[in-house]
Chains A and B, each alone.
Chain A
Amino acid sequence: MILRRLAHLVIVLFFVTLFVATLTAMLPGDPVDAIAGFASPEQKEALRQDLKLDDPVWVQYGRWVGNFVTGDLGNYYSVTGGRPVADRVRDALPVSLQLMIEAQVLALVIAIPLGVFTAYRAGSRFDKGANATAFGLLAIPNFAVALVLAYYVGVRFGWLPVSGYVKPSDDLVEHLRRMAMPAIALAVGQIAVYMRLLRSDMIATLQEDYILMAKSKGISSSRVLWRHALRPSSLTLLTVAGLNVGVLIGGAVIVEVIFSLPGIGTLLYEAIQARQYIALQSLVAIIAVGYVLINFLVDVLYAVLDPRIRHARA
């Protein structure tokens, strides 16, 4: 099973990298003009030699992959010459990862108790209220949450700083203060998804015979809920949390831009604004490859954790 998934992974990675590697070739007009329109004819000629854009596609693809895996992400081009993209990515990647992990943790910490409780009290007024709220939250784009927070919490009441980033190793409290609004903006939609999913999953689980058995043995309802019922449902939650990484990445890019966090999203934004196509290419590759790998890991982890899947497929 792992082998089949691995083959699938390789194929997907091949097509994804092929697409990204040929992005510059897809640029309308002369790629060199698009990459460095400001340059003098001599500089352009040098760049053309440097990028070897005249090579066959396969050669270019091979070279691009070779550079990418060895950490050569190309250059930012400006009038004064090139600066390596990798230098900035090295600083930016941890920021984006911190943001996404913190948002994901926040979402789960809020959604799990809510999901368990609404499932336990399905049909109650609290359940209905929570469900209606979740349905509403799903319709709020994360940039809307970000902007509303930035205005009210940041500007109007001045509780939290609206922009900037502090490393957790420098000052943990200040780090959390600055990450709070971006993380909440990212987490809101996820909370609704996780809560609704966990609730429906647990309602089904709670009707299983073994739950009845546990109850009839006199085990307290909180123990039944948290130990017996949550366990199988948490697997579903794990898968969904993994699949949701795509949502999270897209959201993180926008939220980083709104709160001026120096992460991959901000780099992507700058690359788009300054039309740095080589940087764009590398950033998109990092995001796409990371996303594919995370999905693969979740798939494998799921099979490892749930023996039913492992044996059913074997």
Chain B
Amino acid sequence: MPELDPAAPVPPPLIPTSTLEPVDLVAAVEGPEEAEAERAARRGRLGIGGTAALSWLVLVVALALLAPVLPIDDPNESIASIAKQGPGTEGHLLGGDGLGRDVLSRVIWGSRATLLLAVSAVLLGLIVGGALGLVAGYFRGRADTGLTGLFDVLLSFPQLILAVTLVTVFAGGGVSSTRRMIVLILALGVVSIPVLGRITRASTLSWCQREFVTASRAIGARNRSIIIGEVLPNVLPAMFSIALLGIAVVIVAEGGLSLLGVGIQLPTPSWGNMIAEGRSDLRDAPYIVMVPTIAIFLTVLALNYLGDIVRARFDVRESAL
């Protein structure tokens, strides 16, 4: 696991979003060369890439929210005549899947479940991990030792394996869709706690050495108001940029969990279970797998790019590490 310790001898590596490992944004580009995203952010603008990324995310979120009122088919209605009929079929832009369900409708409805899971899990990690990280970084001492130890233990499982284990134990087999979703959110939330906790702790440590924190202490402000009023606002950008990548990681993880049979449960469509289901038709109808795969790719790409921009904008590298 990458050490986010400020004293670490090695710059933390950038970890691919293709799995659940903690993503380190901070070491993406070191040295004199600036990434496109960073340069754009320095100028205070999104740039072409950033605009495209943001537009895609707005589109995806809007479609997900509006799915019930959009003029699209019922995602679970089977129409025998469009089964395995590829993109461009009359009235069905992206064709039908193996059971004759409209792929466009499923990918839009699927984004709801996938995004709900990703955002909720990361939010959970952000709140719990963030709180623990603030406490560890602010109070230091025994609390820090204990919490850092907790993060270490949580990180000593490959994260996908930890998530798979938790979901299988608490919602394996035939449980209801809702129960599976809740357990998935909790499991992936638990997995993201140490990642967000560590980055928050590191960032808190460095901000707590600033004069304004000392000044607050000197005038007798209470710890709680210093943490919330002085430290938290400064730590938020670092947390936020990691959270963006965290959402991307969870979206990918949902796909992985679905392929292992413990993702979001049918009949609720999700990007992950569309891929897992479509795998059996890969030979005759590859588009069933490719449509949600491309949706995942573009969304993850957009989130990574925006994460980079946020990081550069707030100079997370300097402040967090």
Contacts and interface: CB of A to CB of B under 8 A. Distances in A.
B11 to A, nearest CB: 7
Contact of A203 (B31, B35, B255): B31
Interface in B247-268: 248, 252, 255-256, 259-262
Given A193-B15, A288-B158, A23 B300 contact: no
B27 interface: yes
A236 interface: yes
Contacts of B2: 240, 243
A74 to B, nearest CB: 15
Given A243-B2, A246-B158, A247-B15, A272 B279 contact: no
Given A144-B296, A196-B14, A200-B31, A247 B282 contact: no
Given A143-B255, A143-B275, A196-B28, A291 B157 contact: yes
Nearest to B254: A141
Contact of B252 (A11, A141, A190, A200): A141
B99 interface: no
Interface in B267-315: 275, 279, 282-283, 286, 289-290, 293, 296-297, 300-301, 304-305
Contacts of A131: 35
A258 interface: yes
Interface stretch (B18-26, B61-69, B102-110): B18-26
A204 B30 contact: yes
B29 A141 contact: no
Contacts of B248: 139
A127 B255 CA distance: 32
Given A138-B16, A143-B259, A200 B279 contact: no
A95 interface: no
Nearest to A25: B169
Contacts of B14: 138, 193, 196-197
A16 B156 contact: yes
Contacts of A16: 153, 156-157
* Interface residue range, chain B: 35 or more
Interface in B150-184: 152-153, 156-161, 164-165, 168-170, 172-173
A273 B173 CA distance: 7
B297 A144 contact: yes
A192 B16 contact: yes
Interface string A264-304: 00001100110101001000100110011001000000000
Contact of B19 (A11, A247, A258, A268): A247
A209 B149 CA distance: 40
Instruction: Count chain A CB atoms within 10 A of each CB in B16, B172, B279 and give the residue with the most.
Output: B16
Contacts of B256: 141, 143, 250, 253-254
Interface of A is mostly: helix
Contact of B161 (A135, A148, A197, A284): A284
B33 interface: yes
B275 A147 contact: yes
Contacts of B157: 16, 284, 287-288, 291
B33 A272 contact: no
B9 interface: yes
Contacts of B36: 132
A60 to B, nearest CB: 16
Contacts of B86: none
B100 interface: no
Nearest to A186: B18
B228 interface: no
A306 B10 CA distance: 12
B254 to A, nearest CB: 10
Given A12-B153, A23-B165, A139-B301, A201 B11 contact: yes
A99 interface: no
Contacts of B149: 11
A257 B169 contact: no
Interface of A: 8, 11-12, 15-16, 19, 23, 26-28, 122-123, 127, 131-132, 135-144, 147-148, 150-151, 155, 188-190, 192-193, 196-197, 200-201, 203-204, 207, 235-236, 239-240, 243-247, 249-251, 253-254, 257-258, 268-269, 272-273, 275, 277, 280, 284, 287-288, 291-292, 295, 306, 308-309, 312
10 A-B pairs closest in CB distance: A250-B160, A189-B16, A203-B31, A139-B301, A200-B30, A246-B158, A240-B13, A189-B18, A250-B19, A139-B300
Given A139-B248, A291-B157, 7 more contacts: A139-B301, A141-B17, A189-B19, A243-B2, A246-B159, A247-B21, A268-B260
